[in-house]
Chains A and B, each alone.
Chain A
Amino acid sequence: MLQYAFQRVLLALAIVFVAISALFTIMITLPGDPTTVLLGPRATPELRAEFRANMGLDDPVLVQIVNFWGRILSGDMGMDYNRNRPVAEAVFSALPHTMALVFGAIFWSATLGILLGAFSADNRNSWLDRVTGVLSVGFIAAPSFVVALYSLLLFSVTLRWFPTIGAGEPGDLASRLYHLALPSFAIGLAWVGYVARIVRASMLETLGENYIRTARAFGLTRRKVIYNYALRVAILPAVQVLGVGIGGMLSSAVFAEIVFSRPGIGSLIYDSVSGRNYPVVMGSMLVAIGFFVTCALIADLVNAALDPRQRVK
């Protein structure tokens, strides 16, 4: 297990390194004056010259990549020239909002998805199972930003049950959760469908195992066997899917943050792109990819720890 974990961590680090380096290379080798791309068309000549010297833009590409990682590893992610603050400050004040959104979405999809899936498996082939099946596919298919727009329109603008903008008062947990509920639901809905289907399928498989039959033979009730014993094993595949799904959720989070005017990595990148604020874009990408790869890694390791078969490739 330790060896497997070590290999996985190394692979994850290599992936983040290559993914970011590739993006950085594209950025500096693209035709056109990189200072225009990085600083925006309105930058003064002095700022350009200073920037050119600071970033070592006249060095060979390889040297620039090495220097770039040198700066990152020493904790310097560059400057946000538009608002005159370190990129790290901008990125790390936005990250918790996005993490809350993604974990909120996971909360919705895990609770609703597992309930629906277990219920479906329990009532296999009934009409309720069929309806749940069709609903699940419907949830999966509905584009998250359309779900976000529709729920904004219905619950916030028309019914006024939920707030339309912002992330709530700082320090006030209830207000934060109140602002979080709708956007995270919009992201999580698609995953409710996925989780429900996976839990249903693996639940049906688990219910055929010998130890379940043994539990039944010992006289435990059907309900107890399904919800206490089978479910515990059946949710494992869902853990892995959610871990990998965080990449998709990060994409959906961009829309949720813009539709609900929330702060976060998505809206930070969005604002930076329209202002061609490239250091911030780069920093946000690094954090977004790092976050995603870390979550996928954790899901993978949790799975490997719980199910030794996963460790053999």
Chain B
Amino acid sequence: MMDRLKHSLIGRLLADPMAVFAMAIIVGLVIVAVFADVISPHDHTAMNLADRFAPPSSTYWLGTDNLGRDTFSRLAQGSRIALYVALVAVSISGLIGLTLGMIAGFGPRWLDNVLLFVFDTLRAYPTIILALALAALLPRGLSTVIIVVVITSFSEYGRVVRTQTLSLKNAEFILAERAMGASAARIVFHHVLPNVLGPFFILAAMNLPVVITIEAGMSFLGIGVPPGTPSWGATLKDGFDYIRNTPWIIIAGGLPLILVTLGFTFLGEALRDQLDPKLRKSR
């Protein structure tokens, strides 16, 4: 049963050109991240002051930056940072949101209200502005980026999971299970959880590019990765500082971000279209 569903889902995704395009980008990103050291034509830290601000050429595929470092090699390394932060931050915030969302949906009314208030309050922090405020308190580094992402995004998972759990709580098959004397744990883990995971994973897929953008944004502002780390945002910051010397750093530095966010967004859209039958009908 599960196999058939999976098979048909993948089959349906492959029939959608946007989904294929999206998956190609994501597979490309993963390949670049895994083999970054192999495919980089230069050492990403090697400075060559004679070749500062070089435009794209056969030696430097995407040009060089203000210290004569190869932009392509730096961007390839940057894909590792982007992917690492996205996966870690989405896993942590997703897990917290999933747990709290199910507690809110399944627990007593007062607890639901308390958690809803917590979710509402956390949503009041504009992400980047909170990031700036916390940056003054916390040390600079990827863990700070992850903390900011988790604080500002787990409430979103919590809300979606809560709504889904609430609608399941009084579904007939749950009531039947309860009438047969099933424990709360059995109902939650065997019946609620599998039904909540669909929308949860769609949200997670849609949040990956958001997290990648937050990391790049924080690194652009100088409150993300430590100096010298080849994050995409740091590359864009170099490009911004030397915008009058060469346009190439900004052009090259923005491309992977745009491609990757496009890829994940199109995939999330395609997944939602396929997994949500209501949407499929209305299109």
| Interface residues of A, Cβ cutoff 8 Å to B | 11, 14-16, 18-19, 22-23, 26-27, 30, 37, 134, 137-138, 140-143, 145-146, 149-150, 152-153, 157-158, 201, 204, 247-248, 250-252, 254-255, 258-259, 265-266, 269-270, 272-274, 276, 278, 281-282, 284-285, 288-289, 292-293
> Which A-chain residue is minimally distant from B126 (CB atoms)?
A250
- Residues of B near A284 (CB, < 8 A) are 129
CA gap between A250 and B132 in the complex, in Å:
12
Closest 5 CB pairs of A and B: A251-B128, A141-B265, A250-B126, A146-B254, A143-B213
User: Does any Cβ of A come within 8 Å of B9's Cβ?
Assistant: no
Q: Apart from A138-B262, A250-B129, A285-B130, what are 19 other A-B pairs with CB-CB below 8 Å?
A: A15-B124, A16-B124, A30-B137, A134-B18, A137-B266, A137-B269, A141-B264, A143-B216, A143-B217, A149-B236, A150-B254, A153-B251, A158-B247, A254-B221, A255-B220, A273-B132, A273-B223, A281-B133, A292-B124
Residues of A within 8 A of B129 (CB): 250-251, 254, 265-266, 269, 284-285, 288
Is B124's CB under 8 angstroms from A149's CB?
no
- Interface hits, B113-143 → A, CB 8 Å: 117, 120-130, 132-137
Closest to A17 in B: B121
Given known A-B contacts A146-B254, A259-B240, A276-B136, A289 and B216 have beta carbons under 8 A apart: no
B residues engaging A (CB < 8 A)? 18, 117, 120-130, 132-137, 209, 213, 216-217, 220-223, 236, 239-240, 243-244, 247, 250-251, 254, 257-258, 261-262, 264-266, 269, 282
Does the CB pair A140–B265 fall under 8 Å?
yes
The CA of A235 and the CA of B239, in the complex, are separated in Å by 39
Provide the main secondary structure of the chain A interface.
helix
Contact A281 B132 (CB under 8 A): yes
A2 to B79, CA, bound (A): 52
Across-interface contacts of B127 in A (CB, < 8 A): 247-248, 251
Give min CB distance, B21 to chain A, whole Å: 10
